[in-house]
Structure 1
Amino acid sequence: MAKDPKAFKTALHQKMMSLEATELKAAKEHYDRLVADSHVSGREQFDNSDIAEARENADLAAAFDHPVKDHHAKIDVLEHMDFAVTDTVQPGAVVSFGGRRVVVSVATAQFELDGVTYMGISQQSPIYKAMSGLSAGDSFTFNGRQIHIDEVL
């Protein structure tokens, strides 16, 4: 995966923090916009459609509060997770299998670092539970398929 595993893990950690910070910023902006649109005050006149639209925006803002909290929680996990180099599948590990690379940390969309694609998985994910504690060269069964672990870092 990398010539300098410690530097790679530091860069990976920074990349994941940056991605979550960007996601949090976008979620907060969306939430703030909906909250601002949920108020009818400040207008001299408003009708039932204005009130209905404001109420709909308030409901949407409440729904979009969850992504904001979710990204805050992910950032908290990433800030406190040990990304040290390891040889066993555990939180903070990067695991390669079947041409895929996953980072045991928080669930993320796919992202690239140095031209290689990764995806974050949580400790609650079924695939993590199937491979937890294993090392490179070990195999595990997931969804009825035998999967060989190529590398753990």
Structure 2
Amino acid sequence: MAEQEQPLLDAFIDVYMSSLKYLDEFISEPAKAFHLSFEQYLILREITRHKNVTLMDIASQRQVTRSAISRQIRVLLRQGYLRQQPDENDRRRLYLLATPAGEQAERLIRQRIDHRFQGWLDMYGEDQAQELLNFIRNFSQVTRLKNRDN
């Protein structure tokens, strides 16, 4: 790395340590009151929004392994936010359904997230939020393509 690029790298590291970690905390905090990670909340959200969702549907959508989703779902089942229901035509196929407690938790977490996000928009404005979103999308796309080609 060229010596003149070192301050830029140091600045990126500083931003990561002071800001990006906070962004993760900012996003995940509303679910903590329900003893859920943000990933678990997103799974619960998917299940409350769609019918006949299976573990494999979620794993496929997120492009992760079945076991990664299974660990998350186990927590949701244990905490009483989800239940499983066998398909009437194929008892091996299990649908994931939100319990009343799961539906209420999803609704309350969503309200908290909406409130936090609105505060963020009020502070920074929609234009800046859109710029950040566009940058993150571009960064992700370029990184995925580069990693795929290597």
TM-score, length of structure 1 as denominator length? 0.28
Looking at secondary structure, tell me which structure has more strand per residue: 1
Looking at secondary structure, tell me which structure has more helix per residue: 2
Greater gyration radius: 1
TM-score, length of structure 2 as denominator length? 0.28
